């Protein structure tokens, strides 16, 4: 083993508490030292991600951010301080990371992560970490990682909630969850809705943990963690590659990075939990449907399934035809989406929310649960 393949005594002392962890050891620490991580955004999420990765001994961190440090950043973007106000965030962040780990190599990308450099940057690094706050960059990062065969760790935060996604090549991507980039104005921004700095710390620290886990080979599947700090709840959503995904599916429509597809929308953060619940039980669905202002119930199964059984009043729009039949779904009424077991309808619910429908909920368990719990006269199949 050459000196380059061994840890120095200094490194052994520095990382001693980490090296003793299962799955790390000296070989894991060397893997971290060899790793090249691209950090998109040196903001509320990028701050804790960068600090923890630097402290953990990641060898090289690239920082892509085109912005300068502003006073309204400081309550949450803890790599920056009053002494770096007005400086490019890349420089300010590099100083802070260098202080925590002088052995770290930092590469600055003050032009940010753009359509012009995305493919090249994704190829130069082992993993991409997305802590940006706008959909254009978020989808660009997601697609670059699929096309460049790179893992992506994604985070977003709003108010007191957020989410952390891990997307491994071939195991399901960001577009498997959110097929279409939302329109401008579909969701509130952090500037409009507000955000707690400590919530950024929760989500960003979780992202850093996931980056380290991926680098150490400890993640085998893509997954999404939805965290609501206010409610004290976090939920793990398992992900599988969707054969119909426009980017990683069997017949992808996104085969290269096209400028028009990533036209910037305003600084927006996807709200992981809007006031309308993402999912309702069949009991709740029945209560709403029999109430004074019943929601529109959309059945997204296929026509032959609909012919077998249906919930009275449901309108059939099979999942694959939803994108071309949006005109039939009004935006100003509450909508329930239902299928056989709740899987397809959850995808459509997420899709409609991404398209700017704020009051859409999935019916948990689908018509199967309806038949078991509400109306046994509806045949099961
Ligand atoms: Zn996908």
Q: What is the pLDDT of residues 2-33, one digit of tens each?
A: 556 899 999 999 999 999 999 999 999 999 99
Q: Which stretch of 5-14, 45-54, 180-189, 208-217 has the lowest confidence by average pLDDT? A: 180-189
Which residues sit with Cβ closer than 5 angstroms to ligand 1, an ion? 173, 175-176, 245, 247-248
Q: What percent of the chain has pLDDT over 90?
A: 77
Chain mean pLDDT for the chain: 91
Angle between helices 197-215 and 25-34 (to 10 degrees): 110
d(Cα 325, Cα 356) in Å, to the nearest integer?
Answer: 15
- Which residues, listed in sequence order, are joined to residue 60 by a DSSP beta bridge? 36, 105
d(Cα 341, Cα 343) in Å, to the nearest integer?
Answer: 6
Q: Reading across the β-sheet that carries 315-316, which strands appear in turn?
A: 279-280, 360-363, 335-338, 296-299, 315-316
Instruction: Check if 200 is active-site.
Output: no
Tell me the CA end-to-end span of the chain in Å, nearest whole number. 62
Catalytic residue among 176, 248, 309, 339: 339
Q: Which CATH class is domain 35-262?
A: alpha beta
* Per-residue confidence (pLDDT) for residue 275, from 0 to 100: 65
d(Cα 122, Cα 141) in Å, to the nearest integer?
Answer: 8
d(Cα 351, Cα 341) in Å, to the nearest integer?
Answer: 18
51 and 96 in contact (C-beta within 8 Å)?
Answer: yes
Question: Per-residue confidence at 356, pLDDT binned at 50, 70, 90?
Answer: confident
Dump pLDDT digits (tens) for 255-290: 999 887 887 544 434 443 346 788 899 999 999 998
Question: Per-residue confidence at 359, pLDDT binned at 50, 70, 90?
Answer: confident
* Per-residue confidence (pLDDT) for residue 372, from 0 to 100: 95
68 alpha carbon, distance to own chain's centre: 25
Both tokens of 376, joined, read: 């046994």
* Per-residue confidence (pLDDT) for residue 2, from 0 to 100: 57
Q: Is 358 helix (H, G, I), strand (E, B) or coil?
A: coil
Task: Report the separation in Å between the CA atom of 81 and the middle of ligand 1, taken as the mean of its atom positions.
Answer: 38
The pair phi, psi for residue 157, each rounded to 5°, is -150, 145
62 and 38 in contact (C-beta within 8 Å)?
Answer: yes
Both tokens of 298, joined, read: 């959309």
Task: Report the separation in Å between the CA atom of 345 and the middle of ligand 1, taken as the mean of its atom positions.
Answer: 17
Catalytic residue among 190, 200, 248, 309: 190
Mean pLDDT over 206-232 rounds to: 96
Q: What is the DSSP string of 87-146?
A: SBHHHHHHHHHHHH-TT-EEEEETT-S-TTTHHHHHHHSSEEEE--SSHHHHHHHHHHHH
Question: Can you name the CATH fold of 279-373?
Answer: Oxidized Rhodanese; domain 1 (3.40.250)
Task: Report the separation in Å between the CA atom of 25 and the middle of ligand 1, taken as the mean of its atom positions.
Answer: 34
**Whole-model pTM over 0.75:** no
Task: Report the separation in Å between the CA atom of 31 and the middle of ligand 1, taken as the mean of its atom positions.
Answer: 28
Q: What is the DSSP string of 295-316?
A: PEEEE-S-HHHHHH---TT-EE
d(Cα 38, Cα 154) in Å, to the nearest integer?
Answer: 12
Task: Report the separation in Å between the CA atom of 245 and the middle of ligand 1, taken as the mean of its atom positions.
Answer: 5
DSSP 159: B
* Per-residue confidence (pLDDT) for residue 184, from 0 to 100: 58
Task: Report the separation in Å between the CA atom of 263 and the middle of ligand 1, taken as the mean of its atom positions.
Answer: 20
Q: Is 106 helix (H, G, I), strand (E, B) or coil?
A: strand
Instruction: Check if 173 is active-site.
Output: no
Task: Report the separation in Å between the CA atom of 36 and the middle of ligand 1, taken as the mean of its atom positions.
Answer: 24
Q: Reading across the β-sheet that carries 223-228, which strands appear in turn?
A: 105-109, 60-64, 36-40, 127-130, 152-158, 161-167, 223-228, 233-238
* Per-residue confidence (pLDDT) for residue 14, from 0 to 100: 96
d(Cα 133, Cα 1) in Å, to the nearest integer?
Answer: 44
Top-confidence range, 267-281, 293-307, 351-365: 293-307
* Per-residue confidence (pLDDT) for residue 7, from 0 to 100: 95
Task: Report the separation in Å between the CA atom of 172 and the middle of ligand 1, taken as the mean of its atom positions.
Answer: 5
Q: Where along the chain do its domains lie?
A: 35-262, 279-373
Task: Report the separation in Å between the CA atom of 242 and the middle of ligand 1, taken as the mean of its atom positions.
Answer: 6
Beta strands in 5-45 (DSSP E): 36-40
Residue 59 burial (C-beta neighbours within 10 Å; 0-12, 13-18, 19+): middle
Mean pLDDT over 130-142 rounds to: 93
């Amino acid at each position: 083993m050459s000196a380059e393949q061994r840890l120095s005594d200094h490194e052994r002392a520095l990382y001693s508490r980490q090296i003793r962890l299962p799955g790390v050891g000296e070989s894991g620490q060397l893997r971290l030292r060899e790793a090249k991580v691209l950090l998109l955004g040196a903001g509320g999420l990028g701050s804790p991600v960068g600090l923890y990765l630097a402290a953990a001994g990641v060898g090289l961190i690239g920082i892509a951010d085109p912005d300068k440090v502003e006073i309204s950043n400081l309550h949450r973007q803890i790599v920056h301080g009053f002494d770096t106000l007005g400086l490019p965030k890349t420089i300010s962040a590099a100083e802070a990371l260098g202080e925590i780990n002088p052995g770290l190599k930092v590469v600055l990308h003050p032009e940010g992560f753009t359509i012009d450099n995305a493919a090249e940057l994704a190829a130069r690094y082992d993993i991409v970490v997305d802590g940006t706050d706008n959909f254009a960059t978020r989808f660009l990062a997601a697609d670059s990682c699929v096309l460049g065969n790179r893992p992506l760790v994604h985070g977003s935060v709003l108010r007191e909630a957020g989410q952390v996604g891990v997307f491994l090549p071939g195991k399901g991507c960001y577009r498997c969850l959110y097929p279409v980039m939302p329109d401008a104005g579909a969701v509130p921004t952090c500037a409009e809705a507000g955000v707690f700095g400590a919530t950024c710390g929760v989500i960003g620290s979780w992202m850093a943990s996931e980056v380290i886990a991926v680098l150490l080979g400890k993640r085998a599947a893509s997954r999404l963690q939805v965290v609501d700090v206010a409610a004290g709840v976090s939920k793990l959503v398992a992900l599988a590659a969707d054969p119909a995904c426009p980017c990683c599916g069997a017949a992808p429509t996104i085969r290269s990075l096209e400028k028009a597809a990533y036209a910037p929308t305003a600084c927006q953060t996807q709200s992981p939990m809007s006031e309308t619940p993402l999912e309702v039980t069949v009991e709740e669905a029945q209560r709403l449907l029999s109430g004074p202002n019943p929601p529109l119930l959309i059945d997204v199964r296929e026509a032959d399934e609909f012919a077998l059984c249906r919930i009275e009043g449901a309108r059939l729009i099979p999942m694959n035809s939803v994108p071309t039949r949006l005109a039939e779904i009004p935006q100003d009424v509450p909508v329930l989406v239902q299928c056989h077991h709740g899987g397809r309808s959850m995808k459509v619910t997420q899709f409609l929310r991404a398209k700017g429908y704020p009051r859409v909920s999935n019916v948990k368990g689908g018509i199967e649960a309806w038949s078991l719990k509400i109306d046994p006269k509806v045949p099961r199949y």
